[in-house]
Amino acid sequence: MNAIAKLEFKKKIQDKGLWFWTFILPIVFIVGFISIFGGNTGADSEQLVVQIVPGYTVMFSFYIMISIVIAFIKDRDSGMTARIASTPLPTLQYFMGKWIPFILIVLIQIAVLFGFGVAVYDMPLGNTFALIMISVALAFVSTGCGMAMAVIAKTENMGIALTQVIALGGAMLGGLWMPVEFMPDIMQNIAQFLPHYWALQGYQTVILDGGNVLDVWASLLVLIAYGAVCIGIALSAYPRYLKLSKS
C-alpha cells in the first residue's frame, strides 16, 4: 500500500495539469472575483473575502475528481489493475494506496488557497482545530466522490464530464458563488442536500462567527456521511471495474 501511495503521489506532483486545476486556476478566480465585486471596506469587504476564498476552495477541491478518474481509467485500460489483482495485495490496500495521495493533495490545496487569502486579503482563520477538521472532511468527501466516479465511469471523457457537473453544479446550487440567502427559496432548499453547501457553512461558521468544532458538528457529520457513501459505492462497484480491466 505504501509503495502504491508513494508512486501515485510522485506522479501527481509531476502533473502540470494538476497544478493548474489545483492551484493556479483557483487563485485566478479568487483574485478576479474579489477585484470585480470588491471596493468596499470593513465588514462588507471581509464578508466578500470569506465568501469567495472558501467558496472557490470548496469548488476546486472537487476538481481532484478529474485526476482520480484519469488515474483509475489508465490503470484499468492498461491492464495494471488486473495485474495488481493477481497479486496477494488486498483490494482495500490497493484502494487506500491510490486514495491517500489525493487526500494529501486536497489538503495541500486548501492550505495554499487559505494561506493566499490570509497573505493577500488578511482573511481571518478562526479556530485552527475546527478549520482543520472541516478541511479533512472536505478532502474526504471530494476524493471519495472521485473514487466512486473513477470506478463507475466507463470512459475517461464520461468521468470528466460528470466531474464538471458535480463541481460546477454543486458550486452553483450550493451557494459557493453567492450567499445562499440571495438565492431563490427552492435553490436554498436544494443547497442543504449538497456537501458543497455544508463545507462552506462550516468554514464560514469558523472564520466569520468564531465557531469551534462543536459549532460545526452538523457540517462534519454531513461531509463524512457523503464521503462514506461514496467510498461504499466505489468498493461495491470495484468488481465490475476489475472485470473491465481483465476484458
Per residue in 81-112, pLDDT (tens digit) is 888 878 888 878 888 899 999 999 999 999 99
Gap between the Cα atoms of 154 and 144, Å rounded: 18
Least confident of 5-9, 34-38, 114-118, 175-179: 5-9
Cell of 208: 466569520
Gap between the Cα atoms of 113 and 25, Å rounded: 11
pLDDT for the residue 75: 87
pLDDT band for 234, please (50, 70, 90 cuts): very high
Gap between the Cα atoms of 156 and 15, Å rounded: 17
Q: Is the pLDDT of residue 40 over 70?
A: no
CA angle 168, 131, 53 (to 5 degrees): 40
- The DSSP-derived string for 101-138 is HHHHHHHHHHHHHHHHHHHHH------HHHHHHHHHHH
Domain that holds residue 202: 2-246
Q: Is the pLDDT of residue 195 over 90?
A: yes
Which residue type sits at 161?
A
Gap between the Cα atoms of 51 and 107, Å rounded: 19
CA angle 7, 9, 13 (to 5 degrees): 120
User: What's the structural domain count of the chain?
Assistant: 1
For 123-153, b where at least 16 C-beta lie within 10 A, e where not — what string? beebbeebbebbbbbbbbbbbbbbbbbbbbb
- Are 38 and 83 a contacting pair, CB within 8 Å? no
